[in-house]
Each structure stands twice: as C-alpha cells, then as structure tokens.
Amino acid sequence: MSWLPKSPKARRRLWVVAAVAPVLALAVGLSLFAMRDSVTFFFSPSEATPAKAPAGRTVRLGGLVEARSVVRDGAGQVVFVVTDNIAATRVTYRGDLPDLFREGQGIVAQGAFLPDRTFRATQVLAKHDENYMPREVADRLKAKGEWRPASASASDLS
C-alpha cells in the first residue's frame, strides 16, 4: 500500500506542499539569521555579566544614576554610574545628554561594554516626567523590591 493519496488532485496538493515547505522554511531561517544582529537586549547592572553581555555587543543598560557620580570633562565626555541598588556600572558617554538627565533619575543607555566592563554609551534616554521611569528599569527594580517612587501610595505598590 502506498502512502500517497489515490486522488490525482490530492497528490498534486501534496507535491505543491512538499515543494513549498522547504522554500518557506529557508526563507524564515534566513530572515531570523539576518535579524540576529538587530536585536538589542536590556540589562540592569546586576544582570550585565560578561557571559550575558559580552564586550563589544550592543545592549541597553538601565537603572538609576547614582548620586554624586556625574563627572563632565571639557571635551564633552560625561562619566557617571548606573545602579539598580544591587550592582553599579560605570558609563562613559560623549555628546549632549537629555535635558532631564540628572542624578537619582532612571535612564536607559544603549551601547557596549568595553573589556574592562566599563559601558560606553552611544545613546542615553532619560525619563520624561515625574511619573515615568523606563518600563524595563521599573520592572527590574520592582522585581527586586528596590524601587519605590517618591509619590507612590500604598495602593500603587500592590
């Protein structure tokens, strides 16, 4: 007994599916392979280990700017520390910072780690008002029980 259908119409459909399936699988595979470099992962300082965020790979680092850590030099470079109250990471950035960037505020910096585990940012994003922190930062800090907004009431925390 043959595994092919007896109907010529059903056989034709089976051959079409058998021809299209590998082409479709190849197209999906090539698309996923091409997109692997455009994916940017988000880490908090305590999660940014050398295994998860190797040197040279573009990632996003989020947390709070540590108090009294911002140092500006005359050449336009800014060095500051980002923390999630568990670990801290030194960040260097050359360029203009957002107007709302300041100590104690939530930020997300995109860039790459250097071999010495300093983070070189190419872009820095700051929160836009008193009621906002980047979602990833707030979720990570809340999950660790470290983040408490100043204006939160007891009902907001539950």
3-state secondary structure of 64: strand
> Which residue from 100, 99, 98, 93 is spatially nearest to 61, judged by alpha carbons?
93
Q: Is 128 annotated as a binding residue?
A: yes
> Which residue from 51, 21, 57 is spatially nearest to 36, judged by alpha carbons?
57
Q: Is 93 annotated as a binding residue?
A: no
Token couple for 95: 């360029």
**Cβ(45)–Cβ(62) below 8 Å:** no
Number of Cβ within a 10 Å radius of residue 118: 13
Any idea what DSSP says for residue 89?
A: E
CA angle 81-118-144, nearest 5°?
A: 55
Give binding residues as ranges: 128, 132
Give binding residues for heme as ranges: 128, 132
